Amino acid sequence: MVRIATPQTIADAAQSRSLGQHTFPVLQQLIDGIVTASDAELIDAMRFFATRMKIIAEPTGCLGAAAVLNAKLDVRGKRVGIVISGGNVDLARFAALTQAA
- The three-point CA angle 85-88-90 to 5° equals 120
pLDDT in tens, 36-68: 999 999 999 999 999 999 999 999 999 999 999
Residue 74 lies in a domain: yes
DSSP letter at 82 equals: -
Provide, rounded to the nearest whole percent, the portion of the chain with pLDDT above 90: 71
Residue 20 lies in a domain: no
Q: What is the pTM of this model?
A: 0.86
Residue 9 lies in a domain: no
User: 88 is in which domain, residue-wise?
Assistant: 33-99
Residue 95 lies in a domain: yes
Residue 4 lies in a domain: no
Phi and psi for 66 in degrees, rounded to 5? -60, -40
Measured in whole angstroms, the distance separating CA 60 from the mean position of its chain's CA atoms is 4
When divided into structural domains, the chain yields a total of 1
Residue predicted with more confidence, 60 or 87: 60
Residue 23 lies in a domain: no
Residue 50 lies in a domain: yes
